[in-house]
């Protein structure tokens, strides 16, 4: 919620597991969340968070946006 992204927005689409098992398939938000729990490697990182906001820290300079 702090990122204001959907679960699908968090998916690393260049990972082999995504390409082999999930690419081109349609899942609900809850299903994508379960997939991320099952395969945490699929989650974009690093994510930096404060009490009120979070950012995907790529490039690292975006960290300044929440400080």
Sequence spans of domains, the chain: 8-66
Binned at pLDDT 50, 70 and 90, residue 13 comes out as very high
Chain centroid offset of residue 40 CA: 9
- pLDDT above 90 (res 25): yes
Backbone angles phi, psi at 66, to 5 degrees: -110, 0
Q: What is the pLDDT of residue 35?
A: 98
pLDDT digits (tens, 9 = 90+) for 41-62: 999 999 999 999 899 999 998 8
pTM: 0.81
- pLDDT above 90 (res 1): no
Cα separation, 55 vs 50, in Å, equals 9
- pLDDT above 90 (res 66): no
| 8-66 classified as CATH 3.40.30.10 | yes
């Amino acid at each position: 919620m702090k990122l204001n992204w959907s679960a699908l927005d968090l998916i690393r689409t260049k990972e082999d597991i995504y390409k082999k098992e999930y690419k081109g398939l349609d899942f609900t938000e809850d299903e994508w969340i379960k997939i991320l729990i099952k395969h945490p490697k699929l989650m974009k990182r690093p994510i930096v968070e404060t009490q009120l906001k979070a950012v995907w820290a790529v490039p690292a300079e975006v960290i300044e946006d929440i400080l």
